[in-house]
C-alpha cells in the first residue's frame, strides 16, 4: 500500500491534491462525498465515511460514504455516547481497531451494512477545540491500520476541519447555496471589540464583489441567468475593447496583446460554454462564473511555467469584471451605488476603517462587525470611544453573507446572532431595554465625585488620540485629564512624517483642552499592529520586533523632533507628561532621558529668548513588557511616574497574540497571573513612592475597576465613553469589599472563576445590570 502511494507522490502531495480538489466543490455534501471517494482510492481501503456532529440533538449524522450503504446517508444518526463513532468523539483522538465487532463499544446499525468490515480506523475532525465530526476508514481484512495510514487520516482531518467549519457557517447564513442544511439562526463567534448590545440589519457599504468573496447561490430561473451572463460578457467585451484602444500608442504592441487573451476567454465557445453548463446545473450566473474560473485559475497556478502561472491572474481579473457587470445587470444599477441606510444598521466590512465609521450616518449606526481586526484595532478603539457595540475577527463569514440579515450583536461576549429565532429576539430586546434604563440612571448622576461609599477617592482620566474632539469634550471641560494620548495616530493618518510645526499645533490644542489637568503624551508607538504606510516594517513576529521605543531610539531624528514639538507646545503650561512605550530595560530609559534632556535645553533656550517659560515635563514609562516588573526598584530612580499598559502586558505574560482569532479566547486580563502582576506593580510603586496609573482596557470595565481599586490603583485611564459608568460603579461600592473580592480573584484557578466572583459581588451590591459589562 505504501509503495502504491509512493508511485503517486509523497503523502503530502496526495493530501494537498485531495484538499485542493475538495475545496473546489461548492456544496459541502458533494465535497464530502468526493472526499470519501478520494480517500478510499488513495489508501486502497474498502470504505471511507464522514459523520458530522449535530449538537442540537447530540448525535453524529452520516453525511457521506464510499463503502457503506448509500441510502444510509442522512438516515443513520449515532448518539454522542454511542458506538465507536461516539467513542472517537468522546476521546477526541484516533481509534484503531483490528476487529471492530469484538470491541465493547461496537454498536450494530443494520442500515449501513458493515457486517463484512473488521478493521476500523476513526479520527475526530476538530476545529478550535470543538469536535465537528468523525472520518473513518474500514477494511474487510482483520488487521490494524499502519502508523502511516493513521497519520494520513489525522492530517487530513486537521486540514478539512476549517473548511467544514466555514462551510457550516456559510450554509446556515446562505441556505440557498445548498451547502449545509441547518437552522436558519446562526451564532458566529468573534472577539469582543466594544461593549454593548445592538440589534439591526446588516449593511456593507464597501462590499467587495470579487470571485474570491462571492458566495455561491442556486437559481431555478435558468434562462434568465444565462441572459444575465451573456449581457455581462457583452458589456465586458465593450470595456476591454475600449481599454485596448486607449492604450494604443502608449505601450508596446506585445503588451497590448494580453487583450487578445481576454477576447479569447470572452468567446462563447470557451469560457462561456462551461459557465452556461453550470447555470443549467442550477447555479446562478455569478456563482457559475466563479466555479468555472476558479477551476481554470487553479490549473494555471499549478503549472511550472511562470508565464502560465501569471495567466491565472489575468483570468481572475477579467472574470471579476464580468462579475461586476453581471451584478449590475441583475441589480439594474451599478453595484457601487448604495442606498443610504434608513434604519438601525449593523455596519459590516472585511476591515472597518476610521473613515468608514466617519462616513456612516451616526443615527443609524447600531453596531459594528469587522471580519478582520482585534479588540485593539483602531476601529475597535474608536467604536468604544463612540459607545457603539462592536465584534471583531469574525473570520468565517463574509460581509455579503450578512447583508440585509437581521443581526443581534453582543459586544461583551463577542457573539453575533444572525436571523435570530423569535424567542431569542424578544429576550435580546429586553436586555437592550434594561441597558437603556441603567444608562439613563448612570447619566443622571454623572456629575458626582468619584469616591467609594467608605471615602476612597479615585481619579478617572481619558485615553485619547483617535477622535480628539470627541474625547477632549468628554473630559468635562478640563475637569478630567488625559492618562494616555496616542501620538501615533496623526502619524498614521498622513502620507509622510508630520513636521515639527504640525505636531506643535496638534499637541498645543490637546494641552490647552484641559490646562489644569495632567496630559500624558505617549511617544511614537508604531510597529506591531500599527504600521506607518510610508515607513513599512516587515517582520516575522512584529509584536516581538521593532516597535515602540526600540524604533524611535534607533531613529533619534524622529524622536527628537517629536519631543521638541511636545515641549514647544507646552510653553507657558504645566500639564505635560511624557510617556515612553515598550520599555524593556533600564538602558532604554537612560538613552531616552538623554535625548529628552537634549531637546529640553534646546527649547528652553528658545523660550528664554522669547521671554516665555518652559516648565520641565514629568517623564514616565509604560509598564507593558514583563522584564520591567523585575527592575522596578532601579527604574523608580529614573522616572517620575509609571503607567501600566495592561493590554500589551496581558499579551506578553500569556504569550497570546491578541489579534489572532485562533487564540483570542486565551487573551484575558482577568487571568489570575495577570492580576497578580498588576497587584505586584502597584505594591512596588507605592514602596518606592512612584505614582502609578493604568491605561489598559481593564480600567474601563466595571469588574476590572473594582479589582484595580482593591489593589491600590487610584488613577484609572479609559475610553471617554466609560467614564460615567466607572464613576457610578465606584460610588456604589466600598474599598473593604473590593479588597476582599481581590483576594478571591488572586487565588482563583482561571479567569472564568474570577468572573464568577465579580458577578456575584456586583449582584450582591445591586449592580446586576453591570454583570455583562464586568465580564
Q: What is the dihedral of CA 301, 306, 311, 316, to 10 degrees?
A: 40
**What does the block give as the cell for 28?**
459541502
Sheet bearing 119-127, strands edge to edge:
77-79, 59-66, 47-54, 130-139, 119-127, 95-97
Specify the length of the chain in residues. 775
- How many Å apart are CA 248 and CA 245, to the nearest integer? 5
Marked catalytic residue, from 48, 345, 450, 695: 695
Radius of gyration of the CA atoms of the chain, in A: 31
What's the first-to-final CA gap in the chain, in angstroms?
54
* Contacting residues for 131 by C-beta, under 8 A, at least 6 apart: 53, 89, 92, 124, 125
Per the listing, cell 509523497 goes with 10
Hey, which bits of 35-129 come out as E strands? 47-54, 59-66, 77-79, 95-97, 119-127
Residue 52, SS3 per DSSP: strand
473 backbone dihedrals φ, ψ, rounded to 5°: -65, -35
DSSP 291-314: HHHHHHHHHHHTSS-HHHHHHHHH
- How many Å apart are CA 418 and CA 408, to the nearest integer? 7
**What does the block give as the cell for 36?**
470519501
Q: Determine contact, residues 487/582, Cβ cutoff 8 Å.
A: no
Name beta bridge partners: 119.
Answer: 139
- How many Å apart are CA 430 and CA 434, to the nearest integer? 6
CB-based contacts of 751-757 (< 8 A; 24+ apart in sequence): 751/668, 751/670, 751/671, 751/672, 754/670, 754/671, 754/672, 754/675, 755/670, 755/703
The question of whether 378 is a catalytic residue gets the answer: yes
Q: How far out from the chain centre does Cα 675 lie?
A: 25
Marked catalytic residue, from 378, 394, 450, 757: 378
The question of whether 101 is a catalytic residue gets the answer: no
- How many Å apart are CA 410 and CA 192, to the nearest integer? 8
Of 123, 44, 113, 101, the residue nearest 73 (C-alpha): 113
Q: Determine contact, residues 118/94, Cβ cutoff 8 Å.
A: no
Q: E strand or H helix at 32, and its extent?
A: helix 28-43
DSSP letter assigned to residue 530: B
Q: Are strands 390-392 and 365-370 parallel, antiparallel or unpaired?
A: parallel
**What does the block give as the cell for 2?**
505504501
Of 467, 469, 645, 487, the residue nearest 563 (C-alpha): 487
- How many Å apart are CA 172 and CA 183, to the nearest integer? 7
- How many Å apart are CA 710 and CA 391, to the nearest integer? 30
**What does the block give as the cell for 255?**
503588451
With residues binned 3-state (H G I as helix, E B as strand, rest as coil), the percentages for the chain, rounded to 5, are 50, 15, 35
- How many Å apart are CA 742 and CA 738, to the nearest integer? 6
DSSP letter assigned to residue 523: P
Positive or negative: CA dihedral 658, 660, 664, 666: negative
**What does the block give as the cell for 536?**
513599512
Q: Which residues are catalytic?
A: 378, 695
Amino acid at each position: 500500500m505504501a509503495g502504491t502511494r509512493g508511485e503517486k507522490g509523497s503523502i503530502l502531495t496526495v493530501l494537498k491534491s485531495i484538499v485542493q480538489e475538495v475545496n473546489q466543490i461548492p456544496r459541502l455534501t458533494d465535497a464530502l462525498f468526493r472526499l470519501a471517494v478520494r480517500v478510499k482510492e488513495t489508501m486502497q481501503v474498502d470504505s471511507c465515511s464522514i459523520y458530522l456532529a449535530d449538537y442540537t440533538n447530540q448525535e453524529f449524522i452520516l453525511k457521506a460514504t464510499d463503502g457503506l450503504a448509500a441510502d444510509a446517508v442522512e438516515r443513520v444518526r449515532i448518539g454522542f455516547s454511542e458506538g465507536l463513532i461516539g467513542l472517537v468523539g468522546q476521546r477526541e483522538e484516533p481509534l484503531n481497531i483490528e476487529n471492530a465487532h469484538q470491541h465493547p463499544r461496537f454498536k450494530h446499525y443494520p442500515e449501513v451494512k458493515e457486517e463484512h468490515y473488521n478493521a476500523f480506523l476513526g479520527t475526530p475532525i476538530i476545529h478550535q477545540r470543538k469536535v465537528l465530526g468523525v472520518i473513518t476508514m474500514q477494511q474487510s481484512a482483520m488487521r490494524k491500520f499502519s502508523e502511516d495510514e493513521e497519520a494520513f487520516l489525522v492530517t487530513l482531518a486537521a486540514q478539512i476541519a476549517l473548511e467544514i467549519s466555514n462551510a457550516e457557517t456559510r450554509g446556515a447564513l446562505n441556505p440557498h447555496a445548498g451547502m449545509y442544511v441547518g437552522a436558519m439562526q446562526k451564532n458566529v463567534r468573534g472577539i469582543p471589540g466594544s461593549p454593548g448590545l445592538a440589534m439591526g440589519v446588516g449593511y456593507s457599504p464597501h462590499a467587495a464583489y470579487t470571485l474570491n468573496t462571492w458566495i455561491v447561490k442556486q437559481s431555478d430561473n435558468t434562462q434568465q441567468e444565462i441572459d444575465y451572463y451573456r449581457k455581462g460578457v457583452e458589456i465586458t467585451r465593450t470595456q476591454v475593447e475600449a481599454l485596448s484602444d486607449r492604450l494604443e500608442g502608449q505601450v508596446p504592441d506585445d503588451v497590448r496583446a494580453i487583450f487578445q487573451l481576454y477576447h479569447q476567454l470572452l468567446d462563447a465557445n470557451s469560457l462561456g460554454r462551461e459557465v452556461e453548463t453550470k447555470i443549467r446545473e442550477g447555479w446562478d450566473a455569478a456563482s457559475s462564473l466563479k466555479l468555472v474560473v476558479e477551476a481554470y485559475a487553479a490549473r494555471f497556478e499549478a503549472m511550472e511555467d511562470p508565464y502560465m502561472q501569471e495567466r491565472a491572474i489575468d483570468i481572475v481579473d477579467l472574470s471579476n469584471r464580468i462579475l461586476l457587470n453581471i451584478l449590475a445587470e441583475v441589480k439594474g444599477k451599478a453595484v457601487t451605488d448604495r442606498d443610504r441606510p434608513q434604519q438601525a444598521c449593523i455596519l459590516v466590512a472585511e476591515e472597518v476603517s476610521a473613515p468608514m465609521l466617519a462616513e456612516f450616518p451616526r443615527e443609524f449606526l447600531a453596531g459594528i462587525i469587522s471580519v478582520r481586526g482585534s479588540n485593539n484595532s483602531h476601529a475597535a478603539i474608536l467604536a468604544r470611544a463612540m459607545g457603539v457595540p462592536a465584534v471583531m475577527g469574525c473570520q468565517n463569514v463574509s460581509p455579503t453573507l450578512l447583508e440585509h440579515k437581521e443581526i443581534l450583536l453582543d459586544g461583551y461576549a463577542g457573539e453575533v446572532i444572525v436571523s435570530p429565532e423569535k424567542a431569542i429576539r424578544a429576550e435580546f430586546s429586553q436586555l437592550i431595554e434594561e441597558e437603556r434604563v441603567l444608562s439613563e440612571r448612570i447619566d443622571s448622576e454623572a456629575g458626582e465625585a468619584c469616591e467609594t461609599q467608605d471615602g476612597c477617592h479615585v481619579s478617572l482620566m481619558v485615553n485619547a488620540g483617535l477622535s480628539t474632539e470627541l474625547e477632549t469634550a468628554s473630559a468635562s471641560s478640563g475637569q478630567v485629564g488625559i492618562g494616555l494620548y496616542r501620538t501615533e495616530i496623526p502619524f498614521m493618518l498622513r502620507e509622510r512624517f508630520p513636521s515639527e510645526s504640525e505636531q506643535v499645533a496638534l499637541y498645543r490644542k490637546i494641552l490647552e483642552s484641559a490646562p489644569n489637568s495632567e496630559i500624558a503624551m505617549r511617544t511614537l508607538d508604531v510597529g506591531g499592529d500599527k504600521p506607518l504606510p510610508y515607513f513599512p516594517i516587515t517582520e516575522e513576529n512584529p509584536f516581538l520586533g521593532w516597535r515602540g521605543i526600540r524604533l524611535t531610539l534607533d531613529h533619534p531624528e524622529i524622536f527628537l523632533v517629536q519631543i521638541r514639538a511636545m515641549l514647544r507646545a507646552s510653553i507657558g503650561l504645566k500639564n505635560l507628561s511624557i510617556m515612553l512605550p515598550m520599555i524593556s530595560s533600564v538602558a532604554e530609559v537612560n538613552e531616552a532621558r538623554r535625548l529628552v534632556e537634549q531637546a529640553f535645553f534646546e527649547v528652553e533656550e528658545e523660550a528664554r529668548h522669547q521671554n516665555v517659560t518652559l516648565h520641565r515635563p514629568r517623564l514616565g514609562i509604560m509598564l507593558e513588557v514583563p522584564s520591567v516588573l523585575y527592575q522596578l526598584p532601579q527604574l523608580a530612580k529614573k522616572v517620575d511616574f509609571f503607567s501600566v499598559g495592561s493590554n500589551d502586558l496581558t499579551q506578553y505574560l500569556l504569550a497570546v497574540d491578541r489579534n489572532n482569532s485562533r487564540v483570542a479566547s486565551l487573551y484575558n486580563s482577568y487571568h489570575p497571573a495577570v492580576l497578580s502582576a498588576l497587584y505586584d506593580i502597584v505594591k512596588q510603586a507605592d514602596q518606592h513612592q512612584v505614582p502609578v496609573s493604568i491605561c489598559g482596557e481593564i480600567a474601563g470595565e466595571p469588574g476590572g475597576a473594582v479589582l484595580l481599586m482593591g489593589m491600590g490603583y487610584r488613577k484609572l485611564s479609559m475610553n471617554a465613553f466609560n467614564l460615567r459608568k466607572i464613576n457610578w460603579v465606584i460610588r456604589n461600592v466600598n474599598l473593604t469589599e473590593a479588597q476582599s473580592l481581590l483576594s478571591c480573584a488572586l487565588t482563583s484557578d482561571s479567569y472564568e472563576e474570577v468572573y464568577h466572583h465579580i458577578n456575584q459581588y456586583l449582584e450582591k451590591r445591586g449592580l446586576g445590570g453591570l454583570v455583562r459589562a464586568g465580564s
